[in-house]
Chains A and B, each alone.
Chain A
Amino acid sequence: MNNTIEKSQPNRRRPRFVETRWNIKTAPYLFLLPTIIVFCVFMIYPFVSSFFMSFQELEGGKFVYVGLKNYIRLMKDSIFITALKNTTIYLLIQVPIMLVLALVIANMLNQRFLKAKGFFRVSVFLPCVTALVAYALIFKLLLNTEYGLVNYLLTSLGFPKVDWLNGPISAKISLIIALTWRWTGYNTVIMIAGLQRIPEEIYEAADIDGASSFQKFKQITIPLMKPIILFCAITSTIGTLQLFDESYILTHGGPDNATITVVHYLYNMGFRYLKFGYAAAMSYVLLIIVAILSAIQFKISGSDDL
């Protein structure tokens, strides 16, 4: 797609637009200038300096060079590997569920004859803006093993109680539920914005051809939404790989590290155990993993989308 955008055909340009030509060359740099400055100062510089930190460790109040020690320890760190596994599980299970839900809900909310759209949109969107204190407390109350509402409903339907926040598997499920609750609406809103950009005429033409709404969804909505879906998939993937809040406040990473995420472990290392060098090394390994995963997603979805 990119190549088709800029058909700069110099022969068509008339001499009196000389200043325009000058503009075309410099304009992108001027447009990008503030962004580049901001990125260099507030992103790349601190990140590069944490790269140096990954070869150092805090000893006696000062950072001393330790070579590859942090990276070597990382390869043998069973908790880091557990954290990677947990994160992968969240990624493989939670992200697809959430994206499908978001697309379905967005599609429902985009129906012309639906009333109270505003209400539904706001209510679906709200979970991602909850204050963390409230989010944590409410989910802990709802998922309480003995007296939580969820177990109350389960038992009244004849199912056994589930130890939501303490079982190695159920704690993961709780985390996935909480995550889905919090972020589905957010993706829904982005998808609505995408859906609204699909010209109605395409649907009208399909209607005239007598397409069912499932056919329309499959043949028109999904292909035309591909860039937006990809966008949501990538941001959700990155969000999941950087997951911190839920593990930190809901399960404290437990039981026995069954729910800990990489960034939670990284935070513990840096801010709780004061091993900043080790934490920095961990972040670089994480970065490589994210980069590989994103590349795969681009590949799978077809590289011409970006």
Chain B
Amino acid sequence: MMFKKVTILAVVLCMVFAMAGCGSKPAENSTETPKEDTSAQGEKPKLSGELTVWSWDVAAKALQEAAVNFNKIYPDVKITVEDLGTDQVYDKMTTGLVANVGLPDVVTIEGERVASFAGKFPEGFVDLTDAIKTDDFLPVKISECKSNGKLVAFPWDAGPAAVYYRTDLFEKAGIKAEDIKTWDDFIAAGKVMNEKVGVKMVPLAASRNANLFGMILNQLGSYFFDAEGNTTLNTDAAIKAMSIIQKMYDEGITYDNTDWDGLVSATQSGKIATVPSAVWWAGTLMDEVPDLSGKWAVMRLPKVGNEGVQAAVYGGSNVMIPAATQNREAAVEFVKFAMTDMDTQITAFTKYGLFPSYIPTYDDPAFDQEVEYFGGQKIWKFFAEVAKEIPELYYTEDFPEVYSRVIDAQAKVTLKHAEVKATLDALQKDITNMLGK
């Protein structure tokens, strides 16, 4: 009978998914939890096994090339590079670390995030202290990679910062770059730029990011935390840096770019005269704004009054090895190779714009090039000089949360015209209450 058939069908269907549930369990299970330790532990020189690498865009491409070079020496190591996108790497790392499964063997992590992951998961990453010759790397990168006195990440690309400026607009406004010695000079020049050319001096995503604040703070040898991990957000340096931001905003020389895309489009359409940013911005300019070739140059960050240095860091990434890796030796060897092999590093730099933090590379002729886009300026050499002067700075595991509070504070002093010292005092109090230090 028809009804019976339908009944049977329904029951069978129910059982099918019940069975599909149970049936695939054991089968998949055996392929998962792989205890098949293929890396023979005895013989050191012969590395083999598989490595999974999580990364994003250019970094992933560069690591892919590093893998090819690495395989010339160690042909038995099979390396798979997954290009996931930045946020996706973090989301997957987070769940993976909490569950302690499903982690890669090698992963790229932005500088400011290293301490956050390593602080929350002190046992989560391989200690690389013995693998890194600290003198060969920029001090600022070494300080980034440190957590609880151990080096938990291998330093990779650095983000020495400077001011990119439009030479044509400066000329039009009658501003001379060499006259801009301090941030006050910079703001004064911005007002001239406003009056004479009608172009905003500097992009500032007041409610979105606090990169410029961070850079100025870094110039003063300070940052959100001190070496002991204490919050230092209402220090003189912090107040000075935030006051500069407020003054820029109040003087009307800022362009609110809201985010990255806004910055690119404002730059393309010539709405801003300078971009204080890191070395990698040069790559963006050359790729995204080819029309303005020859109209850009770089200068040192202005000083804060007569204090601090004219160098700071903005961005850059490092490479970490999750402790859950089944193939630690090969992972360490691969990372060490990728980060210190001259050819690999120079390729990553010239082809993908990843500015090395491995100091020996700076002697390579690639750094001595005159860059046509910047009117023949030797910007790579310039940035290599900047890089060596960047003061050390310290991140903690709470950096992401504190950073978002700093952005809130910046929005208060700019958009809502709050008083700087009071705002930062309140911020400091809030955060010390929350973190206990």
Contacts and interface: CB of A to CB of B under 8 A. Distances in A.
Complex contact flag A–B (Cβ < 8 Å): yes
Interface of A: 30, 33-34, 37, 58, 60-61, 73, 137, 140, 144-147, 163, 165-168, 252, 254-257, 268, 270-276
Contact of B411 (A140, A145, A254): A254
A140 B259 contact: yes
Contacts of A165: 258
Contacts of B261: 137, 140
Given A147-B265, A271-B91, A273-B401, 14 more contacts: A30-B11, A33-B14, A58-B98, A60-B122, A61-B121, A140-B259, A166-B207, A166-B415, A255-B207, A256-B416, A272-B90, A273-B116, A274-B94, A274-B397
Interface in B379-422: 397-398, 400-401, 404, 407-408, 411-412, 415-416
B407 A61 contact: no
B18 A254 contact: no
Contacts of A145: 256, 258
A58 B94 CA distance: 12
Contact of B120 (A61, A144, A146, A257): A61
A256 B408 contact: yes
Given A166-B207, A256-B207, A144 B258 contact: yes
Given A256-B416, A268-B404, A144 B98 contact: no
Given A61-B123, A274-B116, A256 B412 contact: yes
Contacts of A61: 97, 120-124
The SS class assigned to the B binding surface is: helix
Contacts of A58: 98, 120
B328 interface: no
B120 to A, nearest CB: 5
Contacts of B91: 271
9 contacts: A33-B14, A58-B98, A61-B120, A61-B124, A140-B261, A254-B207, A254-B407, A256-B408, A256-B411
A147 B386 CA distance: 35
Interface of B: 11, 14, 17-18, 90-91, 94, 97-98, 116-117, 120-124, 206-208, 255-256, 258-259, 261-262, 265-266, 269, 271, 397-398, 400-401, 404, 407-408, 411-412, 415-416, 434
A223 B412 CA distance: 48
A88 to B, nearest CB: 20
Contacts of A276: 98
The SS class assigned to the A binding surface is: loop
- Could you say which of A146, A166, A252, A274 has the most chain B C-beta atoms within 10 Å of its C-beta? A274
Contacts of A37: 18
Contact of A271 (B94, B262, B271): B94
Contacts of A268: 401, 404
Contacts of B11: 30
Contacts of B404: 268, 272
A273 B398 contact: yes
- Could you say which of B91, B98, B207, B416 has the most chain A C-beta atoms within 10 Å of its C-beta? B207
B401 A272 contact: yes
Nearest to A31: B10
Contacts of A255: 206-207, 411, 415
B120 A34 contact: no
A234 to B, nearest CB: 29
A55 B206 CA distance: 36
A272 B256 contact: no
A275 B398 CA distance: 10
A271 B415 CA distance: 28
A61 B117 CA distance: 9
B177 to A, nearest CB: 26
Contacts of A272: 90, 400-401, 404
A73 B121 CA distance: 22
B415 A256 contact: yes
B170 to A, nearest CB: 22
A252 B408 contact: no
